[in-house]
Amino acid sequence: MAKERDLVFDALKIFAIFLVLWGHCIAHLTSVEATTNKVFLLIYSFHMPLFMTMVGYFSGSALNLSFKELVINKGRQLVIPSIVIASVYLLDGWIFGEWDKGVYNFVNMPWFLKCTFLCFVLYYACNHLFKSKTIGILVGLLVSLAIGRFNFMWMYPCFLFGVLVNRNFKLLKSNAGVISLMSGVIFFAMLFFWGADFWIKRDKVEALSALPDFAPLFDWVYHYSFKNIIGLAATLFFISLFEFLSDKIPATALGRRVCGWGKETLGVYLLQTVIIEIIMVRWIKFDNVSEWMFSLVITPLISIFVLLICLWLIDLAKKSRWLSLLLLGLPLRDKQPNEKRQDDKSST
């Protein structure tokens, strides 16, 4: 990867989106509870914090926009594709007689894009309303705790962490080996205490209402803090590890091409939602396969297959100006000359 920072982050993006596919395959392609699966637990300890950290890392230019420009640009990029994919959930619920489930998923899915949009809006507001960056950060974190949807209170700290990494990237780059070692030790040590218990819903309002009994509040604070720290420790580990290895491993043509797929993570994330979470989940189950065969052989292979299908569909979508907008969040480009000629022919 030879000292190409953009290539490093493209590699991180394709690594992260593969983990998303892998984790979703484990979660949806068996009837067994996913939190009993060790590979699932490992993936879900950090893969979305890593993703959101990279979003925060590249968020700096958003502050140069007006608020209207921010809402329009991020609305096009994030909200419009979210509504399109959420509509597929609605259609699925209608077809299979699960209307309530379809409506629920329409509101909440795909959660990551909706969460990302809120992260940009809150980060922008805090930076423009408060002269002190410290106060802006603290207010933003407090506001994030009050938002219960889209995993926002977990993801906003990761977004801010990405901003911090960006501002201190030279320090990280020059000490990548040491940082990867230290953060890796913290991450792997915390894995010994990581488990299904972190998927049990803990209501912070109920914890506060139980006062002066502090036990529920301490329990909530512990799980909130642990979940954030393990995710950020792993994120720092992988970013610094990839940066460290970029000086050791020469970039090959194949490596560049695979890393280049990292630029399509938004499209892959959206399309895999339909392929894995809506279609495959209804028709494919590997209940009679051993956990290790399922987790380490079958689901990684399916993930690679789905990734390639998504990349192919993205290429097809890019040929249409409207599909590019609706599925990929790309700007609605002007018609190409051949498209105009076809329209002229069809009108005659």
Q: Provide DSSP, 298-344.
A: IHHHHHHHHHHHHHHHHHHHHTSHHHHHHHH----PPPPHHHHHHHH
pLDDT, tens digit, for every residue of 297-307? 999 999 999 99
How many Å apart are CA 306 and CA 301, to the nearest integer?
A: 9
φ/ψ region of 231 (left if φ > 0, alpha if ψ in -120 to 50, else beta) reads alpha
Torsions phi, psi for 109 (to 5 deg):
-120, 155
Task: Please identify which residue in the block is written with the tokens 């803990």.
Answer: 202
Q: Give the pLDDT of residue 251.
A: 81
How many Å apart are CA 124 and CA 250, to the nearest integer?
A: 38
Looking at the chain, the number of H-run helices and the number of E-run strands are: 20, 0
pLDDT in tens, the chain (348 residues): 444 446 899 999 999 999 999 999 999 999 999 999 999 999 999 999 999 999 999 998 999 999 999 999 999 999 999 999 999 999 999 999 999 999 999 999 999 999 999 999 999 999 999 989 999 999 999 999 999 889 999 999 999 999 999 999 999 999 999 999 999 999 999 999 999 999 888 888 888 888 888 899 999 999 999 999 999 999 999 999 999 998 888 888 888 899 999 999 999 999 999 999 999 999 999 999 999 999 999 999 999 999 999 999 999 999 999 999 999 999 987 766 555 554 444 443
Q: Give the pLDDT of residue 248.
A: 85
Q: List the end-to-end C-alpha distance of the chain, in Å, as a whole number.
A: 53
Overall number of domains in the chain: 1
How many Å apart are CA 343 and CA 335, to the nearest integer?
A: 10
**What per-residue string of b and e applies to 228-256 under the rule 16 or more CB within 10 Å gives b?**
bebbbbbbbbbbbbbbbebeeeeeeeeee
Residue 49 has a CB neighbour count (10 Å cut-off) of 28
How many Å apart are CA 217 and CA 326, to the nearest integer?
A: 43
Token duo for residue 115: 């969460």
Q: Give the pLDDT of residue 249.
A: 84
Question: Containing domain of residue 22, as a range?
Answer: 5-347
Residue 257 sits at the vertex; the CA angle it makes with 234 and 60, to the nearest 5 degrees, is 50
Q: Give the pLDDT of residue 337.
A: 52
Residues in the chain: 348
Fill in the DSSP letter of residue 225.
Answer: H
Fill in the DSSP letter of residue 35.
Answer: G
